[in-house]
Amino acid sequence: MQKQRGSIDEQTIHDLEFSTIREWLTQYALGTTAKNRLEKLVPSTHKEEIEEELNKVFEYLSIREQGENLPALDFEELTAELKTLPIRNAVLTAEGFIRIHQASSLVNRLLYFMDKREKDYPHLFALFNEVEYTKEIVEHIEKIFDRKGEIKDDASEKLMEIRGNLRSTKDRINKNFEREIRKLSKENVLGDTKEAFVNERRVLTILSSHKRKIEGNVVGSSKSGSLTFVEPAVNVELNREYDILLDEERREIREILKKLTAIISSYLPLIAAYQVLLTEMDFVHAKMKLAQQLQASKPNINEDNTLELIDAFHPILWKNNQELKKPTFPQRIKMDTFSRMLVISGPNAGGKSITLKTVGLLQLMLQAGLLVPVHPNSKFFIFQKILSDIGDNQSIANELSTYSYRLKRMKHFLEITNRRTLLLLDEFGTGSDPDLGGALAEIFFEELYNRKAFGVITTHYANIKLKADQLRNAVNGCMLFDTETLAPLFKFNTGQPGSSFTFEVAQINGIPQEIIDKAKGRINNEKLQMDQLLLELQREKTYLEKLNQEHIEAQETAQKAYRDYTQKKTQLESKSASLQNTIDQNNRFVVLGKKMAGFVDRFTIKSRKKGANTEVLNDLTKFLKIEKTKLEEIKLQKQVVKAVKKKAAKAKPEVDQHQRHKIKEGSQVKLISTKKSGTVESVAGDQITVLFGFMKMKVDRSKLTWIQ
């Protein structure tokens, strides 16, 4: 039914505005090859191919963000040269040689940059497998061309001789001409400009009334006829000789370029590899530039059918809002095998469609090898089919109403949907009688659900919301509104359907209360009660979330105060211990000083009696040995304590790290600071959302211990 590009439905590419992304990409491409590829860029369904493309873009982006000196891509494609070089006796143009020189120089610089960087940038490094570093191409061309791209005089001996003759002939022509001007200026026969150029020759501007007085060839006249252009007779032969020399120069240049072409053609395989490498780098570079513009990241691609978008932005909306200086609100959406059908409800203008399109467009971009504006901890997996039914797609040409078109799309979906399909259905079931259309939409929903598909569905139908609540692997969600002002918060929330706020919106917009009451009397009482219940639930949830947020902020403030207190306490204890240590040491020095003073008093200097100080020296030696032993024992004790602490420090983090690594959704954990136990609701890197009774908190992994 639908034209497809690869395995991705073309209508989906149109519905999700993927063509806008392609237009942005082409603006960043340098050459036509990359532009053409980007204009036709389509999502792939092969995981290895997608990961390869993502890794190349991510590596290129990393190089730029780290400020590495990767040479800028500055080249012209070699398409014409690659067609000419294989032809026998062909001659490349001067511009062609300059393009080859430019490409060879650039590839050499790129190779120099990538040298020894295979481990850092393995996927970009692999692009250089078919090229090699060589100066020969550059040297051959530089023997013939100067830095301005002009052919050198000494490109051949014959060319040097010809150009020498050209210069001398030109000098003679100019000297003769200047002499003629000086002579005729005195005779008042020259026009105001005195000279002109005709067919690249200097000619005299003669007043037509005096043209017969001048010897030379008449080569033209002004439009008015008042001036006649004359080639001086003295230069006629010299100009003819100059033209002959120019012709000889052209022939010699062609001969030189012919020989150079023959030399360069021997490098044809390498030059062809230049073209492949540089156009591929151009292709990846354009993707990298878009990633920079969108502040995009490379998320995780998993095999376990988990789609978790963290801080996800719709790129087109984000860019438009940037230009308008308006905020864009990121979304967090999670789907897996147990919540694979997501039904989003709520009033219009709240962001339901944008949320749906965000999921779809980011998935298309990722599968096209593009980095996406999400937190890098986000998770994606690869779908084989991405199918959408969005907006008013009625066809006048085929006489299809919106509902007929949607029925044909639904028939197509039912034929091809499987467990590797992502469905994006906006305003599901609308376009017909609400009761009858709603019943048919419910059956379609069940059929698509039974095919194990993933889907994001927006709807106002109560029976679809109810069905999502009943099915094990489906889940309701809503876009949050301020329940007092009914202003949209543009924030997605999973777990409950949204109220349509039909009568509340009508009341705010000035519809009389008596009309609203009459309308309420016309509808099924159960529907009214259900909508009222949803409204109350959302109010209560908003209030609880506000209380929870206030509690989290209060707890964070308390934790910060506790950390400050603990830090100051530790500092004071350390200072006190240091001070006490100083006091103890000083006391010890005092005791030792007194002891030494005793030995000094006992020591006799004036006595001539042999052995008068033997006793005191023996006592001193004994004392010093005892003190030395004490010092060694203290030193050994410190070493043992230090070794034990070091061993404990090594062992404890390993245990803690191992235990913390076990933390996942559903784990029982304990908050280290308060010893309070709770259940893990979700994990985003090191940010753990824990439910402590009725209170929900976001806690850093390092502050938790795993229980079970």
pLDDT of 6 > 50? The answer is: no
pLDDT in tens, 551-604: 777 777 777 777 778 788 888 888 887 888 788 778 877 887 887 787 777 777
Q: Phi and psi (nearest 5°) for 209?
A: -70, -15
pLDDT of 689 > 50? The answer is: yes
Which is more confidently placed, 649 or 219? 219
Rounded to the nearest 10 degrees, the angle between the axes of helix 94-114 and helix 268-294 is 60
Dig out the tokens for 143 from the structure.
Answer: 């023997």
Beta strands at 421-425 and 385-389: parallel, antiparallel or unpaired = parallel
- Tell me how far apart the alpha carbons of residues 20 and 357 are, in angstroms, rounded to a whole number: 14
Domains of the chain: 19-154+261-294 (1.10.1420.10), 157-245 (1.10.1420), 662-708 (2.30.30.30)
Q: Phi and psi (nearest 5°) for 377?
A: -80, 0
Residue 398: predicted pLDDT: 44
Question: Where does 115-216 have alpha helices with state H?
Answer: 122-125, 136-144, 157-186
Terminus-to-terminus CA distance in the chain, angstroms? 53
Return the SS3 of 117. coil
Task: Report the b/e string of 520-542 with b at 16+ CB within 10 A.
Answer: eeeeeeeeeebbeebbebbeebb
Shortest CA distance to 143 belongs to which of 163, 159, 162, 166? 159
Average pLDDT over the chain, rounded to whole?
Answer: 84
Three-point CA angle 94, 96, 97, nearest 5°: 70
Task: Report the b/e string of 159-194 with b at 16+ CB within 10 A.
Answer: beebbebbeebeeebeebbeebbeebeeeebbbeee
Most confident residue range from 496-510, 604-618, 622-636? 622-636
Q: Phi and psi (nearest 5°) for 188?
A: 55, 40
pLDDT of 537 > 70? The answer is: no
Residue 33: predicted pLDDT: 97
Report yes or no: 184 and 190 within 8 Å, Cβ to Cβ: yes
By the 10 Å C-beta count (0-12 exposed, 13-18 middle, 19+ buried), 572 is classed as exposed
pLDDT grade, residue 214 (50/70/90)? Answer: confident
Which is more confidently placed, 401 or 470? 470
Dig out the tokens for 518 from the structure.
Answer: 């009459």
Q: Tally the C-alpha atoms within 13 A of residue 429's C-alpha that lie toward its C-beta.
A: 25
Report yes or no: 34 and 279 within 8 Å, Cβ to Cβ: yes
pLDDT of 79 > 60? The answer is: yes
- Tell me how far apart the alpha carbons of residues 359 and 362 are, in angstroms, rounded to a whole number: 6
Handedness of CA 313, 314, 319, 323 (dihedral sign): negative
pLDDT grade, residue 694 (50/70/90)? Answer: low
DSSP for 555-594 reads HHHHHHHHHHHHHHHHHHHHHHHHHHHHHHHHHHHHHHHH
Three-point CA angle 394, 398, 401, nearest 5°: 30
